[in-house]
Amino acid sequence: MSRKQEILTAASELFSQRGFHATSIRHLARALGVQGGSLYAHISSKEELLVEIVRRAAERFLAVRDRLVGSPVQKLRTLVRAHLDVIAQEQASATVFFHEWKFLPEEKRRQVLAWRDAYERLVQEVVEEGVLAGLFRVENPRLATLFLLSALNWTYQWYRKDGPLSLEELSEEYARLALSALGAREVEDGEAQDRTPGGPGLPGEAGGV
C-alpha cells in the first residue's frame, strides 16, 4: 500500500468516527505514527483528503454501470449486491461519502453532488426501465429511487461482517424487499411479473418527488 493510500485509509476511519471537523492533521499523524508536518509531502489539506475519499467511493458505486446486463430485475439485483459490497468492503469511506462531504466548500460540494446525482440517475434508469417493461408498478420512479437508496445507504449504520447474515444472504433479502417495494414478484425463471393481473406497471413522472 502506498503512503497516499495509507493516509486516505486512516483519514476515512477518523472522518467516519470523529467527523471531518473534529479530526485534525495531528490526529491523522498520530494514527499513522508520523510527525504532522511530514504529511504535507503527500497532501495539501484535509479538504483534499475528503474530496479524494468521496471521489473514490463514488467511483466504486458507479462502477456497477458496466455490470448492468439482462432484465430490469436482474439489473436491480446487481445494483443491490454491488451497493452493499461497497458498504461492506469500504464501510468507513461509505460513511464519509454519505455524510462528511457536506462540510466541503460550495465549489467542491457541487462536484460531489454531481457524482452522487450520477449514481442516483443510474438507479432511477433501472427503475424506469422496469416500469416501462411492465415489471415494476410504481407511479413515481424518482420517489421509488430515493426510497431504495435510503434503505440501502442506511446499512452502513448497522452492518457487521460477523453479523447473523452473510453479505450474500443480506443482498438476496434486500433484493427481494426491493422488488416487493417496486410492486414486482419473483418467479421461477428469475424474472418478475406484475402483482395485479391484467396489466403492465404504470409509468410515473421522473421529475421531482
Closest CA to 61 of 140, 14, 118: 118
**What domains does the chain contain, in order, with CATH numbers?**
1-43 (1.10.10.60), 46-194 (1.10.357.10)
Q: What is the pLDDT of residues 114-161, one digit of tens each?
A: 998 999 999 999 999 999 999 999 999 999 999 999 999 999 888 888
CA-to-CA separations, 180 to 53, 76, 129, 169, in angstroms, rounded: 34, 12, 16, 17
Predicted TM-score of the model (pTM): 0.81
Q: Is residue 201 within 8 Å of residue 207, measured between CB atoms? A: no
Taking phi over 0 as left and psi of -120 to 50 as alpha, with beta for the rest, 34 belongs to beta
Number of Cβ within 10 Å of residue 57's Cβ equals: 26
Please state, in angstroms and rounded to a whole number, the distance separating the CA atoms of residues 164 and 105: 40
Q: What is the pLDDT of residues 21-58, one digit of tens each?
A: 999 999 999 999 988 788 888 888 889 999 999 999 99
